[in-house]
Amino acid sequence: MTKIFNLFDFSQKVNYKTEILAGLTVALALIPEAVAFAMIAKLSPLTGLYAAFVMGLVTAILGGRPGMISGATGAVAVVIVGLSITHGPEYVFATVVLAGIIQMLAGIFRLGKLIRLVPNSVIFGFVNGLAIIIFMSQLAQFKTVNDAGEVVWMTGPPMYIFLGLVLITMFIIWGLPKITKVFPASLAAILTIFGIVVFFGIDTKSVGDIASIKGGFPPFHIPEIPLNFETLKLIFPYALIMAGVGLIESLLTLNIIDEITETRGRGNKECIAQGTANMFSGFLSGMGGCAMLGQSLINISSGARARLSGITAAIMLLVFIMFGADLIEKLPMAALTGVMVMVAIGTFEWASLKTFNKMPKSDVIVMVLVTVVTVILHNLALAVLIGVIISALVFAWDNAKRIRARKSIDENGIKHYEIYGPLFFGSVSTFNSKFDILNDPDEVIIDFSESRVVDMSGIEALNKLTERYLKQGKKLHLRHLSRDCRRLLDNAEEIIEVNILEDPTYKVATDRI
């Protein structure tokens, strides 16, 4: 029994009341989000709610980050909407299953550590962009349908009432923690607004005005699609993109929660959990999903730190769907909107705005670009990928400029070039410009004790350099090449002719002056 508790991280000290109340808060906040994302994907609302239940439960039990919440997300909805429109939900369910398998393989092969390649500037941009998306998505709640069936902005008393309730919600969430932290502020705000609306009989938009959430237990369902290569060719690109989007968003969320809680999650375990959850989601009529930063922040800010809150959120969501739909559909959307606006405000990295004059310009550009791409395209994976590529190019450019050579001639008339900085594709041009082959003496030594040959472009540069000295009838020595550099040279012989003079076994390279 102890081993089971250890497996689910229940061996740690858990504040059960805090965890359960935090889970209840998250469950209420999940409902409008799951419904909205399902509608974005052109699927039924229950498809999003079932995905939120399955993703939340499985990742809460098996995931690598206690306290993190998963469910149906907008990033996944944007990926699958095209397939949903053209081929229907059955193909979406199959895609979700395949995406889950890909994510599990990523975890098994320990690819979760690749998230370390994402620089802070990209993470700041990702977080800020996501905060803006969360805020902008709440603006839709300030719209209504007129008598002509058109979606228009609220005006007059309905607008004032809705806005007032949102502001009261935000005030409670801001002010209650200053008085007491015994009860989650978000849940207190939702219940308070619900009480105000019921007591005064206020006519305002409710959850039921968006869609009905009434349903049963998620039905097990094997996707009804042709099992052939044509189907695989159709769904694989969607599955691959969905898996990538899901893992990027989940692992970035994991890192952010790590920083907030000052603990460390397990990326590869989270990859396997996300994959398992998506597989179950596809077989249980769900649209799939990934980690949700907004709901995770609600959970963490409510004091939750263990797995129990995530399990509670998932189970309570299912209870609402099966038994409490009539009551939950009466919840004022103003309360849930106020909660999500406060989440957006809390998500935004306001400190990043103060670093504009302190961070390198390249980092500022990357941060702003990732934010803009995230907001405009709603494609978090693409935004992060663009940010990483630009950061890598900036890094390569900076290192390309760092290569330099110290030149000297010893008492024997031999010219020495002491190379500093890495020799790779970006620095080859600068490296070649350091040598004066025509005017150099008959014997030249290039010292790599403070340098490294990093890639095949560097090897080819050495190859061409030795050819040029050979044509002038001059002797060239390469010294102090590191072991990894010599290994590159050995491997290169199978591809190109490596012109290292005097000694084909590169003993010259290991001579010590």
pLDDT in tens, 250-297: 998 999 999 888 888 999 999 999 999 999 999 999 999 999 988 999
User: pTM above the 0.85 mark?
Assistant: no
Q: Is residue 186 part of a domain?
A: no
What is the pLDDT, as a whole number, of residue 1? 37
- Could you identify the residue written with the tokens 């209870």? 319
Least confident of 51-65, 96-110, 479-493: 479-493
DSSP 351-375: GGGGGTTTS-HHHHHHHHHHHHHHH
Average pLDDT over residues 51-62: 97
Instruction: Evaluate if residue 9 carries a pLDDT over 80.
Output: no
Residue partners of 28: CB distance under 8 A and separation at least 6: 187, 190, 328, 331, 336
With a pLDDT cut of 90, the percent of the chain lying above it is 51
What is the 8-class DSSP label of residue 44? -
Top-confidence residue, 439 or 484:
439
Instruction: Evaluate if residue 193 carries a pLDDT over 60.
Output: yes
What is the pLDDT, as a whole number, of residue 37? 85
H or E element at residue 317: helix 308-322
Average pLDDT over residues 415-431: 91
Query: Residue length, the chain?
Result: 513
Residues 393, 484 share a domain: no
pLDDT digits (tens, 9 = 90+) for 303-324: 999 999 999 999 999 999 999 9
Residues 405, 472 share a domain: yes
Residues 447, 320 share a domain: no
Q: Is residue 204 part of a domain?
A: no
Instruction: Evaluate if residue 400 carries a pLDDT over 90.
Output: no
Q: How crowded is residue 102: how many other Cβ atoms within 10 Å of its Cβ?
A: 19
What is the pLDDT, as a whole number, of residue 224? 93
How far is the first Cα of the chain from the last one, in angstroms, to the nearest whole number? 66
Residues 50, 36 share a domain: yes
CA distance 452 to 457: 12
Q: Is residue 384 part of a domain?
A: yes
Domain boundary among 271, 302, 326: 326
Residues 122, 25 share a domain: yes
Top-confidence residue, 443 or 491:
443
Domain of 414 in residue numbering reads as: 401-510
Residues 223, 115 share a domain: yes
Axis crossing angle, helix 16-40 with helix 308-322, rounded to the nearest 10: 60
Least confident of 162-166, 225-229, 310-314, 478-482: 478-482
CA distance 453 to 448: 9
Residues 239, 101 share a domain: yes
Instruction: Evaluate if residue 7 carries a pLDDT over 80.
Output: no
Q: Is residue 341 part of a domain?
A: no
What is the pLDDT, as a whole number, of residue 491? 62
DSSP 200-241: HT----BGGGT------SPPP-------SHHHHHHHHHHHHH
- Strands of the sheet containing 443-453, edge to edge, are 404-409, 415-423, 443-453, 475-479
Shortest CA distance to 124 belongs to which of 449, 416, 350? Answer: 350
What is the pLDDT, as a whole number, of residue 4? 37
8 A C-beta contact, residue 445 and residue 416: yes
Angle at 496 between CA 457 and CA 506, to 5 degrees: 85
What is the pLDDT, as a whole number, of residue 206? 92
Residues 63, 94 share a domain: yes
8 A C-beta contact, residue 436 and residue 428: no
Residues 428, 377 share a domain: no
Domain boundary among 303, 326, 349: 326
Instruction: Output the CA–CA distances (angstroms, integers) from residue 23 to 20, 44, 308, 346, 499, in the order listed.
Output: 5, 25, 8, 19, 67
What is the pLDDT, as a whole number, of residue 502? 40
Number of structural domains found in the chain: 3
pLDDT digits (tens, 9 = 90+) for 218-237: 999 999 999 999 999 999 99
Buried b (16+ CB within 10 A) or exposed e, 161-190: bbeebbebbbebbeebbeeeeebbbbbbbb
Q: Is residue 94 part of a domain?
A: yes
Residue partners of 23: CB distance under 8 A and separation at least 6: 299, 304, 308, 309, 310, 311, 312, 313, 315, 316
Residues 432, 290 share a domain: no
Top-confidence residue, 503 or 167:
167
pLDDT digits (tens, 9 = 90+) for 61-90: 999 999 999 999 887 887 898 899 999 999
Residues 317, 305 share a domain: yes
8 A C-beta contact, residue 93 and residue 397: no
Domain boundary among 399, 414, 449: 399
Residues 133, 228 share a domain: yes
What is the pLDDT, as a whole number, of residue 488? 65
Q: Is residue 192 part of a domain?
A: no
CATH number of the domain bearing residue 435: 3.30.750.24
CA distance 462 to 215: 69
What is the pLDDT, as a whole number, of residue 335? 92
What is the pLDDT, as a whole number, of residue 452? 85
Q: Is residue 391 part of a domain?
A: yes
CA distance 176 to 185: 6
Question: Where does the pLDDT of residue 183 fall: very low under 50, low under 70, confident under 90, or very high at 90 and above?
Answer: confident
8 A C-beta contact, residue 52 and residue 289: yes
Burial class for 201, CB neighbours closer than 10 Å (0-12, 13-18, 19+): exposed
H or E element at residue 143: strand 143-145
What is the pLDDT, as a whole number, of residue 124? 87
Q: What is the mean pLDDT of the chain?
A: 87
How far is Cα of residue 303 from the mean position of the Cα atoms in its chain? 23
pLDDT digits (tens, 9 = 90+) for 445-465: 998 888 888 888 888 888 888
What is the pLDDT, as a whole number, of residue 47? 96
Q: Is residue 187 part of a domain?
A: no
| Structure tokens that stand for 503 in this block | 């000694």
Beta bridge partners of 71: 290
pLDDT digits (tens, 9 = 90+) for 89-110: 999 999 999 999 999 999 999 9
